[in-house]
Structures are given as structure tokens and as C-alpha cells.
Chain A
Amino acid sequence: MSLRIVVTVKYVPDATGDRSFSDDLTVDREDVDGLLSELDEYAVEQALQISENSDDDVEVTVLTVGPEDAKDALRKALSMGADKAVHVEDDDLHGTDAMGTSLVLAKAVEKAGYDLVISGMASTDGVMGVVPALVAERLGVPQVTLLSEVSVEDGTVRGRRDGDAASERLEASLPAVVSVTDQSGEARYPSFKGIMAAKKKPVVSWDLSDLDLDADEVGLAGAWTVVDSALERPARTAGTVVKDEGEGGRQLAEFLAGQKFV
């Protein structure tokens, strides 16, 4: 038996940098460093653990849709231990929305061949948290999303989804799309050996024609949503900061009373 896992990983602007928008109201990728979305590290980690815990032959492919630099995200995932990488890159992808992204991912996953797709719970830039569900809808396979615990055995994926009202145990037959949360387990750091090995691992590049997609199905032109304006939020006006000299609690109570909270 063999198990083919495709992990979707996104290359995003560093959240600790000054993120902003370009003139066309897409994410400015020039002025902030990019990296592998930290939440996708958890997806890579779970794929590697499934592989390590399995008696089967498991192949872990990491897949990204993004510009040239997005290769950095693939390299990071390869150095963590993934076997190979697919990079979907095309100038016409600029400005793709969630519908377009899920279309490209679904096509690429099918072309790569898969039994299991593992995604992060959300990207750290768009933070929509919908792409895994959309990919499952497009592929017509079960979605087993937002798992804080996941395992695969005998063609069945099982996991735990911690919701607001309840914690649920879920189960589905493969093929399936899974997404994992940051509660699923700390992601490993690439070792020096891993980093060296990653340099020799294959990275395949596909463009839209490789996926039988037309330019007008993706990118800004093909988006089903439009951004009309993006304004920097005005900085909060500097508040009062006082040092506690023994009366801090009472001073705070006075402030809250002044604001009618007490």
C-alpha cells in the first residue's frame, strides 16, 4: 500500500513586518519579507508524523500557488522533511481570490495525484479559513477540517475538531481533505541535514496551461470579488499610562467609572 499526501502551503508576507497594499489593492509583496505561513508548518508536521507512524509507503508532496519567491516556502517545507514540491507559478495568477485559489489548488492536487490533502487552518494574510473546504467541494471528497488531532489508518482519516459548543470526533474515508489547527502539535525545526537534503529534492513548476486553466479563470480578471478601497487604520490616540504606586487598582476603577463601565 502507498499513501500520497499533498500538503498545501502558502507563501505570505511576514506578519511582524509592515504589511500593506499595492496600488492595485492586492497585497504588497515588495516591501515585506515573505515566508511559509506559520500555520502551514503545522500541516507539514502532521503529514510527516502520519508518514513516520505508517507502515505504508508514504510520499509527502508540498504544493504552493504563488510568485517566484514562493519557492522559499517550498524549500522550508522540504527541509522539514517533505519528499518533493510543486510550484504553480504564472503571471496571470496575480490577484487571485479564494475561489480562484481553490480552483488552481484542486487542479494541481489532481494532477499530482493524492489520497490525502492536508492544509493549514487559515493563511496568516487572508485568514479566510475557507480554502480547504473549497478544495474538498471541488474535488468532491470529504472535508475533515480544523483538526487539533489527526490520524490515518486503513484508508480512514480520523480527527478531533474543537468547536465552541462541543468537541467532536470525526471520521472519513480517503481520499479526503484535512486541515489542522495550531493545537495539533508543535512543528519541527529543519535540521542542518534536512536543509542540505532539501537542496537535492525535486521542485516541479507548473503554469496555468499545465493545469488546463485559462487566464480569465484566475487572477484579478477572474476574481469573483473586488476590493474597492484599503485604508490604513489611524493609529490609536495615545492613552494614559500610569505607574502603580499602590493605588493602581483604584485609579483604574475611577477610569472605568468615568467611561460608564462601572
Chain B
Amino acid sequence: MAEVLVYVDHVDGAVRKPTLELLTLARRLGDPVAVALGAGAADTAATLAEHGAVRVLTHEAPEYADYLVVPQVDALQAAYERVSPAAVLVSSSADGKEIAARLALRIGSGVITDAIDLEAGEKGPVATQSVFAAAFTTTSRVSRGTPVITVKPNSASVEAAPAAGGVEALEVVFSAQASGTRVTSRTPRESTGRPELTEAAIVVSGGRGVNGAENFAVIEALADSLGAAVGASRAAVDAGWYPHTQQVGQTGKSVSPQLYIAAGISGAIQHRAGMQTSKTIVAVNKDAEAPIFELVDYGIVGDLFDVLPQLTEEIKTRKG
């Protein structure tokens, strides 16, 4: 069976969920061969094997942390040359998309970004994309070279499928460009203990209606009662009430959870672009005319400072 390269997103050996989703999708196309780079790369093997990786190619070098993107492209190209895969899959993070595109150019292949589904087709993998702020669904293919496709988080369910997953060292010769952009310092983000925004099954977001950084406690309390991630609209982020990493929308994260709760958010097109594919949508807004109500499964016209605390209390009571 054909092999499919899967680029592994991990933090010091802990594999991130979108990679496990990629492995599920990769198995529809062939045998997944995972490529894990940087500190802790070899520690990913057990998890990857559990989810279907037939082989795990690893390489550790300081270059992956010291320089931007190109070292990863060099390594993925080395893996590509070694494996001659039928497709290359990368998850749709900022780095992931840049790595995928540069690899595709080098190997003379087309690239598709932000697929939300992937199937084997007669002429190669068929990618589904959700475009124009989720108003259209398209299917597309790479027509030249080896398909390189990036896939959005939450596009497939994670399935266990034990495979060999033997670790093999990948040989990488870095290009002259690899050291072009130096990372001179790195400030890690503090963990909030809440789920990752793009990976969470439930997201509770606050907007301008939250009216102040300290008031986000109301949003956080509801999120915590549901085990949810916290999101924010750009208006709330621009006001400095919540970190930009938590922004949902066109220039923030795009999320596709089982449940999205928008509180004090009007539902501008750029916000909708990032959450419209959520399975169930709930909104709380004072204004009955707010466009967000066009999307909802359930909406409450009311003050979020009345509705949310009551909801949080009720959830806690029901959960006991």
C-alpha cells in the first residue's frame, strides 16, 4: 500500500491532537509514515504507533528551535525523498501551512490549505474546504505532483489503530536558507489549564458586551463548569480584555467545536468566519436584532450578566 507522510506537531514529545486526527485521515489514503522533528521527537513514537503510524522518522537538532520554518521544510523534504509518499499531510497551524507550502513548491506540487475533510479519489485525494466565511463548501484536488494538504483541527475524530511505528533516524542536511531567520528569544505562554481553543469540544466566547477584562471571569466560570475553552471576539481582544491567542475569527482561530456559546458578540462576518461550522451554536445578546441570532440553535435575548451566572449555577447543580 502507498505511504502517506504525516508531519507531527508535538511539544517536547507530547503529540498534539490535530496530528492524531491527521493519522486517521491518512489511513484513508494509505499507510501513515510520521515525521517528528526537534527536542523529544523520538518520544512521540508510542502515541503515533497507537494511532496507525507504520514508521516514525525522527530527527533532533537545535536548528528546529533556533530558526524559523525552513529547517522543518528541509527535513520534510528529506523524508519525502526517502519515502516517495502518495500524499503529505500537515495540520493547519500558522507554521504548518508555511512548511507545507514551501515543501510543495520545492517538490513541484500543488498545495491545498485548510481542508476540513479528506477522501481517496480516482485522481488522488479529494479535499473539502469551507470557504468565504463558511458560506460555501468546495472540493478540490492537487493536479500536479504529490498532493500536499493541510487540514484544520477538529476535522476528523481520533481513532486508535495500532501499527508497528518503529523509530528510524532521518538524515537531514540543512540548506543555506535554513539559518536565514533567527529566533532570538522565546517567551512560552502560560498554561491556563483549560483545553486548547482549536481542539476543545466546547468553546465559550465573550465579546464587546462583556465590557471589561475583569468581567471575563463570568465567561471563564461558565467555561469551567462545562470543561470548555475560552474564546473572544476581536473587539474584546483589541480592547485588551483577553489575549489575542484566544481570538476567534478570520484573523484569529477558527474553531469547529460540538458547542459554541457566544456571549455579548454581535456576529460580524469576520467573527462568523471562525465559528460558523460549529455543530451547535448558542448566543446570549441584549439585542434581538444581532446577526449572531441568524446562526443559533438556541438564543437568549438578554443581559449576559444575568443569564450566564444563572446558567453556570444550574450546570453545577445538574452535574452535582
| A130 CB within 8 Å of chain B | yes
A233 contacts which of B136, B187, B294 (Cβ < 8 Å)? B136
Report yes or no: A21 in contact with B270, Cβ–Cβ below 8 A. no
Q: Which of A228, A241, A256 is the one whose CB lies under 8 Å from B315?
A: A256
What total of chain B residues lie within 8 Å of the partner, measured CB to CB? 91
Q: Are A166 and B186 in contact (CB under 8 A)?
A: yes
**Cα distance, A156 to B226, chains bound together (Å):** 48
Q: Is the CB of B298 within 8 A of A240?
A: yes
Task: Tell me the nearest residue of chain A to B95, going by C-beta.
Answer: A163
Residues from chain A with a CB closer than 8 A to the CB of B143 are 223-226
One of A140, A141, A171, A182 near B251 (C-beta < 8 A)? A182
In the complex the two chains form, is B259's CB within 8 Å of A164's CB? Answer: no
Residue among B138, B284, B302 with the highest chain A CB neighbour number at 10 A: B302
Residue of B nearest to A257 (CB): B318
A183 within 8 A of B: yes
Cβ contact within 8 Å between A240 and B297: yes
Please determine whether A226 and B140 come into contact, CB atoms closer than 8 angstroms: yes
Contacts of A213 in B (CB 8 A): none
Q: Mark A232-254, 1 if CB is under 8 A from B, else 0.
A: 11001001111110111111110
For residue A258, which residue of chain B has the nearest CB? B298
B188: chain A residues within 8 A (beta carbon): 165-166
Offer 18 A-B interface pairs, CB within 8 angstroms, sorted by A: A25-B138, A127-B114, A130-B111, A137-B102, A142-B177, A143-B69, A164-B94, A165-B188, A166-B187, A171-B182, A225-B111, A228-B126, A248-B310, A249-B309, A249-B310, A249-B314, A252-B307, A255-B282
List residues of A whose CB falls within 8 A of some B CB: 15-16, 19-21, 25, 39, 97-99, 102, 121-122, 124-125, 127-130, 133-134, 137-138, 140-146, 148, 158, 161-173, 176, 181-183, 223-233, 236, 239-244, 246-253, 255-257, 259, 261-262
By Cβ-Cβ distance, the 8 closest A-B pairs, closest first, are: A249-B310, A244-B302, A224-B110, A142-B180, A130-B101, A253-B314, A249-B311, A241-B299
Interface contacts beyond A224-B109, A248-B300: sample of 19 additional A-B pairs, CB < 8 Å, sorted by A? A20-B135, A99-B111, A137-B177, A145-B68, A158-B184, A166-B187, A168-B187, A176-B181, A182-B251, A224-B144, A230-B138, A240-B297, A242-B300, A249-B311, A249-B314, A252-B298, A252-B300, A253-B314, A262-B318
